[in-house]
Chains A and B, each alone.
Chain A
């Protein structure tokens, strides 16, 4: 069940209606857990047991780790990483559609299971739960229902935001309808759907020309344009999803973290990672970079840590050379800029900042090629095609007007200062959101899966 389906609309309405019934108040957490299981199982019923094993296993290891952290915490983390590695990276070694695999029915069954949607996200939730709660030596351990809710809360189950247990668990308490911030929830939800349905889905029809072999029909300058369109699309897609999740969270009384903060106005790569997929960056910093030593062990070790974290961050997205390259190149850029960061940040020049923002945006956009084209050879072919004239007898020309109109919201959001935008729209806010609703209905692009669903 995707956020953009009518089934999801009915699902949320029913769950919301039941959730705030006074007679069910004691069972609010149970209701959300059941709803989340239904949401997850609606598309992948055969993977529900796997999800249950992940949660039950994590709860067991949490209980044990609260007694003896040094032994059971690493085992609990290993258990989760094994799950992630098995499902995510088995494709490197086996072809699930092959007639014969191991000839052991049980193993073959596991090998043929599809990649569980959202596994990368809920495994990170599990690890956060194990680390956070055992670090604080919380006793007794949270009950199983609360653990389930933290891990599988449906707005964030599939693609985050990755919420740290320390921030979520205290929010589990009875919720009342009078406390619901309907306007805030509406703003987040409408914005999210608008960016997904109007911006991302429409841009998707154009960025299809980045795929192989279509990019061979695109002139070099249009390849640059497509790159910018894809940057806008992937932002609108993921920002849209995250905003819907935040909005839905508010409806049910939970504050999920904001996942984006205008990433394309970043003047440095380190700033970019404080603005893009903030919950993942934050998770990697808390549970990987800092335990590795962070920047406390000298310059060389810091560089190495950055490369390790970004390389693993790339592999977290998928098992492939392209994802690894993407991560390592981001790591490389972080390493290269680090010695100059102080000097550049000290310079108080608007022009310099504009140049830096443009440079960072172009670099980040170029690296998205490895996301769009996970086949490494195709990615490098696209990249080289951006600098060479296309002699193909087949060429296409993109509609620049549509490109501008579809990327418009992303550009306005990034380039018009927030304060100015708020002042200009202060009295017109509900009307603008109403227009966004109408626009997303009549100008919706063809339905397309959320890009981050594959991770």
Chain B
């Protein structure tokens, strides 16, 4: 293969790659940013919500938490407007760090304190923080097309009416015994105590930084499946949380008919139960405004 052919080949490939990337960058600026990427499954990823958070005006109220909070869909809180930024599978500290990186903060930040056994996810923080390189993300054409074609009806920012008639239906019955059994095993003992304490210390620190800037941070605890609330980890988490944030006015006090709640596993509410809890939370949140 002669040298001239090789150089021509490499030049063509390089220029093609360059122009393709420039086209994606132009498309990004034309559409106003990368699309809200549809996750590979419907169990939910927090990415789209955080992309929307970066792109849209800062909301007045946000919910931060884990997958427990993730299932409380934003329309459940209507007419109260709240942006759910819960991140399944990651510490709430992750979300707090990202929020704190923005120059403008929401007025009210509601923070779930059920699960403290994870440390902050620095990769996620880097990806979605205000000063992250994600600002320069370019459109991924394949994902953009799939995201457009498969956009979910209740995508971020679109307020679909909620079918509240499900509240008139009887609660569903699930066989979630195996999940509760595993959950109890996972949450027994005191292996997580150190992480819980460290995480809570870090939350105290970051809440102070946030509140200095004028926002108000409130906390809440979501119900767990029967048998989980009395596990070692749940009890330790609750005790440490109330020890660090002992002011009762910081906590959302809300009640719900516990016998009406159903869990798909050891911790996650089904849709009807999530609606019941969201309504109860909505009233408590309104009282805090």
Given known contacts A391-B175, A399-B146, A399-B150, A438 and B265 CB-to-CB distance under 8 angstroms: no
Indicate if B31 sits at the interface (CB-CB under 8 A).
no
Separation of A435 and B146 alpha carbons in the complex (Å):
19
Q: Which residues from 1 to 50 on chain B have a C-beta closer than 8 Å to any C-beta of chain A? A: 1, 3, 5-6, 8-10, 12-18, 20-21, 24, 38-43
Which residue of A is nearest B37, CB measured?
A: A402
Q: A360-404, CB under 8 A of B: which get 1 and which 0?
A: 000000000000000000000000000000010110111101100
Q: Which residues from 220 to 254 on chain B have a C-beta closer than 8 Å to any C-beta of chain A? A: none
Contact of B13 among A181, A398, A434, A441 (CB under 8 A): A434
Separation of A435 and B17 alpha carbons in the complex (Å):
5
Given known contacts A186-B10, A394-B268, A438-B21, A401 and B150 CB-to-CB distance under 8 angstroms: yes
Residue tally, chain B, CB below 8 Å to A:
41
Contact of A437 among B5, B8, B17, B174 (CB under 8 A): B17
Find chain B residues with CB under 8 A from A183 CB: 1, 5-6, 9-10
Separation of A203 and B174 alpha carbons in the complex (Å):
31
Which residue of B is nearest A222, CB measured?
A: B41
Interface pair B41/A438, CB less than 8 Å apart? no
Residue tally, chain A, CB below 8 Å to B:
34
Tell me the number of A-to-B contacts counted with CB atoms below 8 Å: 101
Given known contacts A431-B12, A438-B20, A402 and B146 CB-to-CB distance under 8 angstroms: yes
What's the nearest-Cβ distance from chain B to residue A286, in Å? 32
Interface pair B13/A433, CB less than 8 Å apart? yes
Find chain A residues with CB under 8 A from B13 CB: 186, 190, 430-431, 433-434, 437
Find chain A residues with CB under 8 A from B17 CB: 434-435, 437-438, 441
Indicate if B141 sits at the interface (CB-CB under 8 A).
yes
Which residue of B is nearest A442, CB measured?
A: B140
Which residue of B is nearest A447, CB measured?
A: B123
Given known contacts A393-B265, A430-B13, A401 and B140 CB-to-CB distance under 8 angstroms: no
What's the nearest-Cβ distance from chain A to residue B191, in Å? 13
Find chain B residues with CB under 8 A from A42 CB: none
Given known contacts A434-B20, A442-B138, A442-B141, A217 and B43 CB-to-CB distance under 8 angstroms: yes
Identify the interface centre among A190, A391, A438: most chain B CB within 10 Å of its CB.
A438
Find chain A residues with CB under 8 A from B146 CB: 399, 401-402, 405
Interface pair B6/A182, CB less than 8 Å apart? yes
Indicate if A209 sits at the interface (CB-CB under 8 A).
yes
Which residue of B is nearest A184, CB measured?
A: B1
Separation of A231 and B39 alpha carbons in the complex (Å):
21
Identify the interface centre among A184, A209, A391, A394: most chain B CB within 10 Å of its CB.
A394
Given known contacts A217-B43, A434-B15, A442 and B38 CB-to-CB distance under 8 angstroms: no
Q: A401-441, CB under 8 A of B: which get 1 and which 0?
A: 11001000000000000000000000001110111011101
Contact of B38 among A184, A190, A399, A431 (CB under 8 A): A399
Find chain B residues with CB under 8 A from A397 CB: 41-42
Contact of A396 among B3, B38, B41, B175 (CB under 8 A): B41
Q: Which residues from 171 to 189 on chain A have a C-beta closer than 8 Å to any C-beta of chain B? A: 178, 181-184, 186
Separation of A424 and B82 alpha carbons in the complex (Å):
53
Find chain B residues with CB under 8 A from A435 CB: 16-17, 20
Indicate if A18 sits at the interface (CB-CB under 8 A).
no
Interface pair B140/A402, CB less than 8 Å apart? no
Q: A326-352, CB under 8 A of B: which get 1 and which 0?
A: 000000000000000000000000000
Majority secondary structure of chain A interface residues (helix, strand, loop or mixed): helix
What's the nearest-Cβ distance from chain A to residue B18, in Å? 8
Given known contacts A183-B10, A186-B10, A393-B265, A443 and B142 CB-to-CB distance under 8 angstroms: yes
Indicate if A206 sits at the interface (CB-CB under 8 A).
yes
Q: Which residues from 126 to 181 on chain B have a C-beta closer than 8 Å to any C-beta of chain A? A: 138-143, 146, 149-150, 174-176, 179
Q: A91-121, CB under 8 A of B: which get 1 and which 0?
A: 0000000000000000000000000000000
Indicate if B270 sits at the interface (CB-CB under 8 A).
yes
Separation of A184 and B10 alpha carbons in the complex (Å):
10
Separation of A379 and B177 alpha carbons in the complex (Å):
22
What's the nearest-Cβ distance from chain B to residue A135, in Å? 36
Separation of A286 and B32 alpha carbons in the complex (Å):
59
Which residue of A is nearest B262, CB measured?
A: A393
Find chain A residues with CB under 8 A from B55 CB: none
Given known contacts A186-B10, A393-B265, A431-B16, A443 and B143 CB-to-CB distance under 8 angstroms: yes
Interface pair A442/B139, CB less than 8 Å apart? yes
Find chain B residues with CB under 8 A from A430 CB: 8-10, 12-13, 16
Find chain B residues with CB under 8 A from A441 CB: 17, 21
Interface pair B142/A405, CB less than 8 Å apart? yes
Given known contacts A402-B40, A434-B16, A213 and B182 CB-to-CB distance under 8 angstroms: yes
Find chain A residues with CB under 8 A from B176 CB: 393
Find chain B residues with CB under 8 A from A399 CB: 38-41, 146, 150
Interface pair B10/A438, CB less than 8 Å apart? no
Separation of A182 and B15 alpha carbons in the complex (Å):
16
What's the nearest-Cβ distance from chain A to residue B12, in Å? 4
- The 23 sampled A-B contact pairs (Cβ below 8 Å) are A178-B3, A186-B10, A217-B43, A391-B175, A393-B176, A393-B270, A394-B179, A394-B264, A397-B41, A402-B40, A402-B143, A402-B146, A430-B10, A431-B12, A434-B18, A435-B16, A437-B20, A438-B17, A439-B141, A442-B21, A442-B138, A442-B139, A442-B140
Known: A393-B175, A393-B264, A438-B21; 17 extra A-B contacts, CB below 8 A, are: A181-B1, A217-B43, A393-B174, A394-B179, A396-B41, A399-B39, A430-B9, A430-B10, A430-B12, A430-B13, A433-B13, A434-B18, A434-B20, A438-B20, A442-B138, A443-B142, A443-B143
A residues near B (Cβ < 8 Å) are 178, 181-184, 186, 190, 205-206, 209, 213, 217, 391, 393-394, 396-399, 401-402, 405, 429-431, 433-435, 437-439, 441-443
